[in-house]
Structure 1
Amino acid sequence: MNYINQIFSILNDQLLKMTWLYDLVKLLVEKIFKLDYGSRLGGSVHFFIYDTIKIFLLLSILIFAISYIQSYFPPERTRKILGRIKGIKGNLLGALLGTITPFCSCSSIPIFIGFTSAGLPIGVTFSFLISSPMVDLASFLLLMSFFGIRIATVYVVVGLILAVIGGTLIDKLKLEKYVEGYVKEIQVADVEIQEMSRKERISYSKGQVTEIIKRVWLYILIGVGIGAIIHNWIPESVIQNVIGENNPFSVLLATLVGIPMYADIFGTLPIAEALFSKGVGIGTILSFMMAVTALSLPSMIMLSKVMKKKLLGVFVAIVTIGILIIGYLFNALSYLIL
């Protein structure tokens, strides 16, 4: 058993955490840039280069692999699968299918419109809408590379629970009438699902890597830059006073700060990593990441075009309350995770 654990640890360090890259960038900073790795400037340069290369490298590999899996689940097939299952099982399936579909809320909204116009239960479509930008296989593996398997698993599980509960509550409240009328009037053609060849799936996956990297590269660089500043320039005492365990409003503040930001989970990871290194509670970090991915202001603006104010308000309220509960709960139970 110890032998298996050692192999897993080596694979995790070299493939996910990329300790070889960490050491290589450290050598670059000290030998080429002539900077002291232990200084603020040297540490910032190292953080920025290492995290940027690591995220883009892992992200490209993971997007390719997951897009290949996605090619078996086009929107038409997903819609047909969801249409056969009702109730909480449908909400759970909607949340799970959200993990293998678009990587950000803005790209999942068109699919949400398609599901709604096709007559799928509103709870199922909202479970999908919450889960899709927040939880996916790529984010799970990237979270593992930054924080380890326990925290990665916790994030995915609580994200799915929030998606299922949110969708179930919206379904029970019977809010279908608050979806904009034109969405329901859209005619969804019963398109025959075309099977792709292996070559077509590879081509599709390569295209997805290019498209998604183009969409997120700026937010990743901004996130890494903010993370480098937090990690090397802001004293731990300042971070602790603002969003540390001693501040009872830390989870609320992290959630409110996350909402105006527009990024996907990949852009939030470097910031979360820096906050974690400063001793910020895991619940506070989870709340920040979930607020950014599920409640970003641009996404809310887009949603306001397809649903009326009451439904949008209920959606935001349910997700926000869920995020706050998750944050405070996991801060209290952090000793079981870390």
Structure 2
Amino acid sequence: MIQQFADWLVYGVFGLDASTRLGESINFFFYDSIKITILLFAISVVMGVINAYFPIDKLRNYLATRRMYGFEYLLASVFGAITPFCSCSSIPLFIGFVKGGIPLGVTLAFLITSPLVNEVAVAMFLGTFGLRVTIIYVVSGLLLGMIGGWIFGKMKLDRYLTPWVKKIQETSEKATAVWEGEKSPFVKRLPSIIHDAWGIVRNVFIYILIGIGIGAFIHGYVPEGFFEEWMSGEKWYSVPVAVICAVPMYANAAGIVPVIQVFVAKGIPLGTAIAFMMAVVGLSLPEATLLKKVMTWRFIGIFFGVVTLFIILLGYLFNAVI
């Protein structure tokens, strides 16, 4: 139905020719914009329901005060997945975790997963690549956070925190408050959940339009073979090159998924394209700048280096299984 509406609007109302690059690009833009917006709203409502009955404050306190024998990395990654933050937006909550005394490896598990897996990414992946690829992406994002957090925890990187954080940690008391769940019925919560879901859509809608606009332009006007020259699956170095080129960039899922869709349509292997996206949304220069408040440059270099390596390995794995 969405495709029929896009065809009617672009070719019927606007009178554009379906055989032209302009007509094809405009059709792509309207079809993807409508489809992804609807999916994003629906999934945001679902995630809002989960958030309403998932006590994140209790989780934060629980992680700070209990020994969980490794299970805390899973909880931190899941918490990251249900928070709709980009790499920069995750930093304030990450700082709060560090200040609250949560183990550093656990906070890094959250920081890795939060920008990679959220309702925006899930909605756009589901609408663009289907259920199977979406599940693979979500599971790999969670595993990346869990394994990365565990490794960082074993590396004992606390000594590379900035003096500002160490001073706060020395003077702060660990959180001990127990969260009491709100007992209001679901029917009363639903309007607020829908309102919050619409707020998420409204906040990222401009990024959706920009990303899809870029993707539509690439889809219609970039010559065939342009990207394949350096991201071809036949070249062993295509995944590392894609990831390393993506690290300095900054975008969220709403802005980059439509571009990845066009990359795949142009012949780029899906695994390479997903690795490129993970590096764009999970690592960025603005994120490094914000992290400087809590990490020394050596710590930031270790964090970026290890996560980049993991994403490269995931890119090869994606190309092998997808």
* Fold shared, TM-score > 0.5 on shorter chain: yes
| Distance in 2 between residues matched to 1:52 and 1:85, nearest whole Å | 45
Q: Are 1:112 and 2:94 an aligned pair?
A: yes
Partner of 1:281: 269
Partner of 1:55: 36
Q: Mark the CA change 1:98 to 1:200 in structure 2 (over 3 Å): closer, same or farther.
A: farther
| Distance in 1 between residues matched to 2:188 and 2:303, nearest whole Å | 38
Asked whether the 8 Å contact 1:75–1:111 carries over to 2, the reply is: no
- Coordinate RMSD, CA, aligned: 2.2
Q: Mark the CA change 1:204 to 1:293 in structure 2 (over 3 Å): closer, same or farther.
A: farther
Q: Mark the CA change 1:223 to 1:235 in structure 2 (over 3 Å): closer, same or farther.
A: same
* TM-superposed deviation, 1:162: 1.4
List alignment gaps of at least 5 residues for structure 2: none
* TM-superposed deviation, 1:133: 1.2
Asked whether the 8 Å contact 2:243–2:276 carries over to 1, the reply is: yes
* Alignment coverage as a number of residue pairs: 315
Structure 1 stretch displaced more, 66-75 or 317-326:
66-75
Q: Mark the CA change 1:158 to 1:237 in structure 2 (over 3 Å): closer, same or farther.
A: same
Structure 1 stretch displaced more, 128-137 or 258-267:
258-267
Asked whether the 8 Å contact 1:86–1:121 carries over to 2, the reply is: no
Q: Which amino acid aligns with 2:76?
A: G
State the SS of the aligned residue for 2:70: helix
* TM-superposed deviation, 1:90: 1.8
Partner of 1:195: 181
Q: Deviations over 1:58-99 (max 9, x none)?
A: 212222221231123344212133333434322122112221
Structure 1 stretch displaced more, 184-193 or 43-52:
184-193
| Distance in 1 between residues matched to 2:97 and 2:53, nearest whole Å | 18
TM-score (norm 1): 0.85
| Distance in 2 between residues matched to 1:201 and 1:117, nearest whole Å | 31
Asked whether the 8 Å contact 2:61–2:178 carries over to 1, the reply is: no
Asked whether the 8 Å contact 1:68–1:204 carries over to 2, the reply is: no
List alignment gaps of at least 5 residues for structure 1: 1-19
| Distance in 2 between residues matched to 1:328 and 1:86, nearest whole Å | 32
Partner of 1:7: none
Q: Are 1:176 and 2:158 an aligned pair?
A: yes
Partner of 2:210: 222
The correspondence for 2:122, drawn from 140, 151, 169, is 140
Q: Which has the higher contact order (CA 8 A, sep 6+)?
A: 2
Structure 1 stretch displaced more, 261-270 or 282-291:
261-270
User: Where do 1:121-160 residues align within 5 Å?
Assistant: 121-160=103-142
Q: Deviations over 1:177-231 (max 9, x none)?
A: 2223333516465455353434664354345334433432332222111111221
| Distance in 2 between residues matched to 1:128 and 1:231, nearest whole Å | 34
Partner of 1:256: 244
Q: Which amino acid aligns with 1:264?
A: N
* TM-superposed deviation, 1:139: 2.7
* TM-superposed deviation, 1:101: 2.0
Partner of 1:8: none
Asked whether the 8 Å contact 1:123–1:167 carries over to 2, the reply is: yes
| Distance in 2 between residues matched to 1:32 and 1:91, nearest whole Å | 53
Q: Which amino acid aligns with 1:327?
A: G
Asked whether the 8 Å contact 2:84–2:120 carries over to 1, the reply is: no
| Distance in 1 between residues matched to 2:298 and 2:192, nearest whole Å | 39
| Distance in 1 between residues matched to 2:36 and 2:62, nearest whole Å | 33
| Distance in 1 between residues matched to 2:280 and 2:16, nearest whole Å | 34
User: Where do 1:94-113 residues align within 5 Å?
Assistant: 94-113=76-95
| Distance in 1 between residues matched to 2:15 and 2:141, nearest whole Å | 43
Q: Which amino acid aligns with 1:50?
A: Y
Partner of 1:35: 16
Q: Are 1:69 and 2:50 an aligned pair?
A: yes
Asked whether the 8 Å contact 2:40–2:123 carries over to 1, the reply is: no
Partner of 1:163: 145
| Distance in 2 between residues matched to 1:267 and 1:206, nearest whole Å | 23
Partner of 1:311: 299
Q: Deviations over 1:127-180 (max 9, x none)?
A: 111111101355334312211222112111221221112111111110112223
| Distance in 1 between residues matched to 2:178 and 2:18, nearest whole Å | 58
TM-score (norm 2): 0.89
The correspondence for 2:313, drawn from 295, 300, 325, is 325
Partner of 2:2: 21
